[in-house]
C-alpha cells in the first residue's frame, strides 16, 4: 500500500497518510500529499478535502533520517504552500501528535479539527533546528507571538484543549475523528465558510522589546544552544517582514542550522536514546519477567529517589531500612520532593497522595518475599552488599530479580554470594535518582538474558534511558570520569586552579565543572574511594593528595559550607584564597614549577582522557557500541546535547587530531596515563571515526 492514498466519501476527498510508525514526512509522503490535493482539485465532485492519518498519530514531522542527505523534491514548504492555495477547503483531522512538519501541514490547511487527546507542537528546536515549512511564520499569525515564542523555543507540545483556546484548533471532535471530520467538512461546504489562510493574517508584538526580553529570559537555560535564538530571529521576521520574505528568512536560518554541527549532534541524541534500548545479542521478542511489585533496600537519598521513580510509574514499592528513624527521614525527603513539585504546579495533590500511598515502608525483610524485583541501595561496601544479597536470596521468591545499585563494585562478586547468579544484575541509578535519566544496567557474567531484557524494559517504563554495560570498576560513566578527575588533579599541580578548570568545562557546555560538581556531590565520597584504592594508585597519584588535605580540614563540599570553594547559606559559590594557597604550596612542596596552562590544554586533557578510556571500554566490550557511551554521558553526566556525547564529539574533532594530542600528552604527562587505545589508534590511522568503524 502506498504511503498516501486519495479516496472520496460523497463530496469530500480524503487524503489518507499511512507511513508507520509515526507518519513522518518522507519524500513519498510529501509527493503523496501533493498528488492527493491535485486529485481533489481535478475532481469536480470533490468540494472539500480532509487530511487524515492512520496508526497512532497524525504526521509527527519531517523524516529526521533524511536531514543528513541531499533533499529530494517536492520540498515541504512548497507542498504546504500548494495546500494553502487550494481553492477548495482543506481540513486537517488530528489525532496523536501533530509535530513539526505535521503541525506545519495542519497550519496550511484552512481548518483544523482534533481528537480531545491530541497534542500539537513544534519540537524542531530539540533537534537543533527551527520549523522549516512555515511554522515560524504561521504560528505567530494564528496563535500570537507570545504563544509562538513559548511553543517554538521550548519545543514542548500542548494539549488540544489549550490549542483551541489559543486558536490553533477550530474544533474538538466528539466520538470517531473521521466521522467528525467529514461532518465538519460538509458543514464548511454547506455554510460556504470562507477559507482561512493563516499566511494572510498579521502577527503583532505585545511589547516593543518582546523579542529581546524573551531572549534574555532563556539566556541561562539555553546557554550554548544556537537553535533557540535562531527560532526567535525567525519568529521576529513574521512581525517585521511580509509572509514571503519571512518564509525566505526562515529557510535561510533553517538551512544554516541543518548543516551545522549542533543539529547533527542533537539528531544523533534523538536516535541514541531510542537505539540504546535495543541491546545487541538480545532477541527483540524475548519474554521478560513481570514486575508488579518492587522492593528497595535503603531509604537514603538514593533508595528514596529510586522509590519515587517506581511510584511515579504506578508501581508499588516496599521500602526497607534498618531503623524507624531512617524510614521516617527517607519518607520525609520523598514527601518534601513531591510537595515541591506540587507547589510548582507540576503535580496534582491527588497524584502526589497516590504516589505516596504506593510506597510502603518496612523494617522487615519478610515483606520482600513477594516482590518481583529488589534493588539494594545500601552502603557501598562489598562485605555489606554480600550480606544483603545472602539475605535476599533466602527471602525473595524464585525468579525475583536481585539488583544492586552499586556504582563501582563487581556484580559478579556480589552474584557469587547467592545461589542464583542468573537473577543478579546491576541497576545503577544516578543522583538525584528521581531526576537523572540515566540507568546503567550492569550485566554480570551469569545474568540471564531475560533478566537483562527485563531491566531494560522496566527502565524505559519508569522514564529512564537504560544502557546495558559490562562489569568493570566504575562501569562506563564513573570509569571514564575517573580519568578526567585524575588529569584535572594533575593540572592543578602543574599550574591550573579549580576556577579555571571549572570555567573551561562549564563553557564547553557541562552544567558545572569538576570541582563545583565534587563539592556538590560531597568530597568525602571521592575521598573514601581514594583511600580504598590507595594501594592501586601510581606514585604520582598518591602524592597528588589535595583531596586528602581538603577533607582533613573537614571541608566536604557544599554540605559543610566549604570544599574546593566556599559557600554561603544559599549555597552561593566563591573561590577560596586558602585553597588556592594550598594548591600553590602543594606544587612547591612537590618541586613542580607551575606554568600557564591554556584553556585549550585543559579542554583536551579533560575530554581526550575520557575519550581514550571510552575507546578502551569499547575494545573490552564493556559497552557494545559508541552510542551506549554517548547515552551514558548525555543522560547521566550532563554532557551537552549539542556536542552529541563524548564519542560523537570525538568524531567531530577527528580521531586523527585526538590521537596526535594523546601522543603529545604522553610525552608531557607520561605513558602510564596517556597511551592511545589500540582501537582509537587504528581508527585514526584509517581515517575513520567511532561511528564509521
Ligand atoms: C521537522 O518536522 C522539520 C520541519 O519543520 C521542516 C522540514 C523542512 N523521523 O519515539 P518513538 C521513529 S523536524 C524519523 O519510540 P513514541 C523513532 O526513531 C521533526 N523517524 O515512539 C522510532 O524508530 P525505531 C519534528 C522517527 O510513540 C519510531 O519512530 N518532529 C521520527 O514514544 C518510534 O518512535 C519531531 O521531532 C521522525 N520524525 O513517540 C518528532 N519520529 O522504532 C519526533 C519518530 O526504529 N518524534 N521516529 O526506534 C517524537 O517525538 C516521537 O517519536 C513521537 C512518538 C512523540 C512522535
- Checking if the pLDDT of 592 tops 70, the result is yes
Index of the ligand 1 atom closest to the CA of residue 123: 36
DSSP 63-117: -GGGGGS---SSPHHHHHHHHHT-SS-EEEEE-SEEETHHHHHHHHSSEEEE-TT
Report how far apart, in Å, the C-alpha atoms of 79 and of each of 35, 37, 107, 123 are. Answer: 10, 9, 12, 20
Q: How far apart are the C-alpha atoms of 226 and 266, rounded to whole Å?
A: 11
Index of the ligand 1 atom closest to the CA of residue 64: 9
Report whether 29 contacts 17 (CB < 8 A): yes
Q: How far apart are the C-alpha atoms of 250 and 494, rounded to whole Å?
A: 49
Q: Is 200 a catalytic residue?
A: no
Index of the ligand 1 atom closest to the CA of residue 104: 5
Index of the ligand 1 atom closest to the CA of residue 56: 27
Residue minimizing CA distance to atom 46 of ligand 1? 60
The C-alpha cell 495546500 sits at 83
Overall average pLDDT of the 256-265 stretch: 96
Domain ranges of the chain: 4-259, 294-473, 496-594
Phi/psi at 23 (nearest 5 deg)? 55, 40
Domains 4-259 and 496-594 share a fold: no
Q: Which three cell numbers stand for residue 574?
A: 566563591
Out of 53, 59, 64, 254, mutate this one to test ligand 1's pocket (max ligand atoms within 8 Å of CB): namely 64
Q: How far apart are the C-alpha atoms of 258 and 253, rounded to whole Å?
A: 9
Spacing, Cα 67 to ligand 1 middle (Å): 13
Cβ neighbours of residue 533 under 8 Å, at least 6 residues apart? none
Query: Pairing relation of β-strands 97-99 and 119-121?
Result: parallel
Q: Is 124 a catalytic residue?
A: yes
CATH code for the structural domain at 4-259:
3.90.226.10
Q: Return the H-helix or E-strand segment holding 306.
A: helix 301-312
Report whether 453 contacts 468 (CB < 8 A): no
Overall average pLDDT of the 583-603 stretch: 97
- Checking if the pLDDT of 172 tops 70, the result is yes
Q: How far apart are the C-alpha atoms of 487 and 673, rounded to whole Å?
A: 9
Residue minimizing CA distance to atom 39 of ligand 1? 22
What percent of the chain has a predicted confidence (pLDDT) above 90?
Answer: 94
Spacing, Cα 135 to ligand 1 middle (Å): 17
Spacing, Cα 641 to ligand 1 middle (Å): 17
pLDDT digits (tens, 9 = 90+) for 487-536: 999 999 999 999 999 999 999 999 999 999 999 989 998 898 899 899 99
Which is catalytic among the residues 3, 104, 171, 613? 104
How does residue 68 score in pLDDT terms, banded at 50, 70 and 90? confident
* DSSP letter, residue 318: E
Q: How far apart are the C-alpha atoms of 90 and 188, rounded to whole Å?
A: 10
Residue minimizing CA distance to atom 50 of ligand 1? 60
Spacing, Cα 431 to ligand 1 middle (Å): 29
Q: Which three cell numbers stand for residue 564?
A: 574546593
Burial class (CB in 10 A: 0-12, 13-18, 19+), 292: exposed
Overall average pLDDT of the 95-117 stretch: 98
Fold classification of 496-594 (topology level): 1.10.1040
What pLDDT sits at residue 103? 98
Q: Return the H-helix or E-strand segment holding 357.
A: helix 349-358
Q: Which three cell numbers stand for residue 565?
A: 570553594
pLDDT digits (tens, 9 = 90+) for 350-401: 999 999 999 999 999 999 999 999 999 998 889 999 999 999 999 999 999 9
The sign of the torsion formed by the CA atoms of 662, 668, 674, 676 equals positive
Spacing, Cα 564 to ligand 1 middle (Å): 43
Q: What is the mean pLDDT of the chain?
A: 96
Q: How far apart are the C-alpha atoms of 104 and 112, rounded to whole Å?
A: 12
Cβ neighbours of residue 141 under 8 Å, at least 6 residues apart? 198, 199, 201, 202, 203, 238
pLDDT digits (tens, 9 = 90+) for 610-654: 999 999 999 999 999 999 999 999 999 999 999 999 999 999 999
Report whether 643 contacts 649 (CB < 8 A): yes
- Checking if the pLDDT of 318 tops 70, the result is yes
pLDDT digits (tens, 9 = 90+) for 108-137: 999 999 999 999 999 999 999 999 999 999
Spacing, Cα 257 to ligand 1 middle (Å): 19
Index of the ligand 1 atom closest to the CA of residue 101: 2
The C-alpha cell 511564520 sits at 137
Residue minimizing CA distance to atom 16 of ligand 1? 22
CB-based burial, 6-44: b 16+ in 10 Å, e otherwise? beeeebbbbbbbbbeebbbbbbebbbbbbebbebbbeee
Residue minimizing CA distance to atom 47 of ligand 1? 22
Residue minimizing CA distance to atom 33 of ligand 1? 21
Which is catalytic among the residues 3, 124, 171, 613? 124
The sign of the torsion formed by the CA atoms of 685, 688, 689, 690 equals negative
- Checking if the pLDDT of 164 tops 90, the result is no
Q: How far apart are the C-alpha atoms of 556 and 559, rounded to whole Å?
A: 7
Rounded to 10 degrees, what is the CA torsion of 268, 274, 276, 278?
Answer: -140
Q: Which three cell numbers stand for residue 28?
A: 513519498
Spacing, Cα 60 to ligand 1 middle (Å): 6
Spacing, Cα 61 to ligand 1 middle (Å): 7
Out of 60, 103, 456, mutate this one to test ligand 1's pocket (max ligand atoms within 8 Å of CB): namely 60
What pLDDT sits at residue 226? 98
Spacing, Cα 171 to ligand 1 middle (Å): 26
Report whether 185 contacts 50 (CB < 8 A): yes
Index of the ligand 1 atom closest to the CA of residue 135: 5
Q: Return the H-helix or E-strand segment holding 581.
A: helix 577-589
Overall average pLDDT of the 257-278 stretch: 96
Q: Which residues line ligand 1 (CB under 6 A)?
A: 21-22, 24, 57, 60-65, 76, 97, 99-101, 104, 123-124, 127, 129, 131-133, 135, 271, 274
Q: Which three cell numbers stand for residue 68?
A: 543528513
What pLDDT sits at residue 563? 97
Out of 17, 19, 21, mutate this one to test ligand 1's pocket (max ligand atoms within 8 Å of CB): namely 21
Report whether 59 contacts 143 (CB < 8 A): no
Out of 17, 19, 20, 22, mutate this one to test ligand 1's pocket (max ligand atoms within 8 Å of CB): namely 22
- Checking if the pLDDT of 1 tops 70, the result is no
How many other C-beta atoms can be found within 10 angstroms of the C-beta atom of residue 1? Answer: 7
Report whether 505 contacts 606 (CB < 8 A): yes
Ramachandran bin of 589, using left for φ above 0, alpha for ψ from -120 to 50, beta for the remaining angles: alpha
Index of the ligand 1 atom closest to the CA of residue 21: 29
Residue minimizing CA distance to atom 48 of ligand 1? 274
Query: Pairing relation of β-strands 111-114 and 90-94?
Result: parallel
Spacing, Cα 122 to ligand 1 middle (Å): 12
- Domain 294-473 is of which CATH architecture? 3-Layer(aba) Sandwich (3.40)
The sheet carrying 171-172 orders its strands as 4-9, 12-17, 48-53, 90-94, 111-114, 171-172
Spacing, Cα 154 to ligand 1 middle (Å): 17
Index of the ligand 1 atom closest to the CA of residue 75: 8
Query: Pairing relation of β-strands 171-172 and 359-362?
Result: unpaired
pLDDT digits (tens, 9 = 90+) for 597-613: 999 999 999 999 999 99
Q: How far apart are the C-alpha atoms of 619 and 315, rounded to whole Å?
A: 38
pLDDT digits (tens, 9 = 90+) for 131-163: 999 999 999 999 999 999 999 999 999 998 898
Q: What is the CA angle 342-344-348, rounded to 5?
A: 30
- Checking if the pLDDT of 6 tops 80, the result is yes
Q: How far apart are the C-alpha atoms of 611 and 481, rounded to whole Å?
A: 10
Residue minimizing CA distance to atom 5 of ligand 1? 131
Amino acid at each position: 500500500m502506498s504511503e498516501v492514498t486519495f479516496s472520496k466519501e460523497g463530496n469530500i476527498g480524503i487524503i489518507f497518510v499511512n507511513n508507520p510508525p509515526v507518519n513522518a514526512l518522507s519524500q513519498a509522503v510529501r509527493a503523496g500529499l501533493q498528488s492527493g490535493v491535485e486529485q481533489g482539485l481535478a475532481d469536480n465532485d470533490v468540494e472539500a478535502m480532509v487530511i487524515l492519518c492512520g496508526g497512532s498519530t497524525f504526521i509527527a514531522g519531517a523524516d529526521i533520517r533524511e536531514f543528513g542527505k541531499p533533499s529530494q523534491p517536492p520540498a515541504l514548504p512548497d507542498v504546504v504552500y500548494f495546500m494553502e492555495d487550494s481553492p477548495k477547503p482543506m481540513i486537517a483531522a488530528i489525532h496523536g501528535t501533530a509535530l513539526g512538519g505535521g503541525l506545519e501541514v495542519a497550519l496550511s490547511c484552512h481548518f483544523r479539527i482534533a481528537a480531545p487527546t491530541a497534542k500539537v507542537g513544534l519540537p524542531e528546536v530539540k533537534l537543533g533546528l527551527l520549523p522549516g515549512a512555515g511554522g515560524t511564520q504561521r504560528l505567530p499569525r494564528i496563535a500570537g507571538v507570545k504563544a509562538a515564542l513559548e511553543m517554538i523555543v521550548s519545543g514542548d507540545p500542548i494539549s488540544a484543549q489549550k490549542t483551541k483556546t489559543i486558536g490553533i484548533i477550530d474544533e474538538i471532535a466528539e466520538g470517531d475523528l473521521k466521522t467528525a471530520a467529514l461532518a465538519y467538512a460538509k458543514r464548511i461546504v454547506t455554510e460556504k465558510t470562507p477559507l482561512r489562510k493563516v499566511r494572510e493574517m498579521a502577527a503583532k508584538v505585545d511589547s516593543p522589546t518582546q523579542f529581546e526580553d524573551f531572549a534574555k529570559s532563556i539566556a541561562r537555560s539555553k546557554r550554548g544552544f544556537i537553535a533557540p535564538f535562531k527560532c526567535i530571529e525567525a519568529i521576529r521576521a513574521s512581525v517585521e517582514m511580509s509572509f514571503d520574505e519571512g518564509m525566505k528568512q526562515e529557510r535561510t536560518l533553517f538551512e544554516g542550522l541543518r548543516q551545522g554541527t549542533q543539529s547533527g549532534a542533537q539528531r544523533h541524541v534523538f536516535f541514541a536514546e531510542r537505539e540504546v534500548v535495543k541491546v545487541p545479542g538480545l532477541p527483540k521478542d524475548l519474554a521478560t519477567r513481570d514486575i508488579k511489585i518492587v522492593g528497595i533496600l535503603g531509604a537514603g537519598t538514593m533508595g528514596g529517589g529510586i522509590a519515587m521513580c517506581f511510584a511515579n510509574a504506578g508501581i508499588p514499592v516496599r521500602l526497607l531500612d534498618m531503623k524507624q528513624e531512617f524510614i521516617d527521614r527517607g519518607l520525609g525527603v520523598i514527601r518534601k520532593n513531591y510537595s515541591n513539585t506540587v507547589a510548582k504546579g507540576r503535580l496534582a495533590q491527588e497524584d502526589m497522595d497516590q504516589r505516596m500511598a504506593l510506597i510502603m515502608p518496612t523494617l522487615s525483610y519478610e515483606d520482600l518475599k513477594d516482590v518481583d524485583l529488589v534493588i539494594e541501595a545500601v552502603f557501598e561496601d562489598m562485605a555489606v552488599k554480600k550480606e544483603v544479597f545472602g539475605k535476599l536470596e533466602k527471602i525473595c521468591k524464585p525468579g525475583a530479580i536481585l539488583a544492586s545499585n552499586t556504582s563501582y563494585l563487581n556484580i559478579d562478586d556480589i552474584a557469587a554470594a547467592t545461589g542464583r547468579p542468573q537473577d543478579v544484575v546491576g541497576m545503577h541509578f544516578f543522583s538525584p535518582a528521581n531526576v537523572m535519566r540515566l540507568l546503567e544496567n550492569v550485566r554480570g557474567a551469569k545474568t540471564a538474558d531475560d533478566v537483562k531484557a527485563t531491566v531494560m524494559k522496566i527502565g524505559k517504563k519508569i522514564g529512564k534511558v537504560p544502557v546495558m554495560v559490562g562489569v568493570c570498576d566504575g562501569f562506563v560513566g564513573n570509569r571514564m570520569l575517573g580519568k578526567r578527575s585524575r588529569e584535572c588533579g594533575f593540572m592543578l599541580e602543574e599550574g591550573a586552579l579549580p576556577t579555571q578548570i571549572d570555567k573551561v568545562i562549564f563553557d564547553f557546555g557541562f552544567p558545572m565543572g569538576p570541582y563545583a560538581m565534587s563539592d556538590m556531590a560531597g568530597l568525602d565520597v571521592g575521598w573514601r574511594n581514594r583511600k580504598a584504592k590507595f594501594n592501586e594508585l601510581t606514585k604520582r597519584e598518591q602524592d597528588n593528595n589535595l583531596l586528602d588535605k581538603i577533607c582533613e580540614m573537614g571541608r566536604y563540599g557544599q554540605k559543610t559550607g566549604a570544599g574546593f570553594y566556599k559557600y554561603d547559606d544559599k549555597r552561593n559559590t566563591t573561590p577560596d584564597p586558602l585553597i588556592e594557597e594550598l594548591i600553590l604550596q602543594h606544587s612547591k612542596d612537590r618541586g613542580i614549577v607551575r606554568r600557564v596552562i591554556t584553556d585549550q590544554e585543559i579542554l583536551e586533557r579533560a575530554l581526550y582522557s575520557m575519550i581514550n578510556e571510552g575507546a578502551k571500554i569499547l575494545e573490552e566490550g564493556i559497552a557494545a557500541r559508541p552510542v551506549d557511551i554517548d547515552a551514558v554521558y548525555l543522560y547521566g553526566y550532563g554532557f551537552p546535547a549539542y556536542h552529541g556525547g563524548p564519542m560523537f564529539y570525538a568524531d567531530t574533532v577527528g580521531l586523527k587530531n585526538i590521537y596526535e594530542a594523546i601522543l603529545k600528552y604522553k610525552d608531557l604527562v607520561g605513558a602510564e596515563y596517556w597511551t592511545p587505545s589500540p582501537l582509537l589508534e587504528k581508527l585514526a590511522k584509517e581515517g575513520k571515526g567511532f561511528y564509521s568503524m
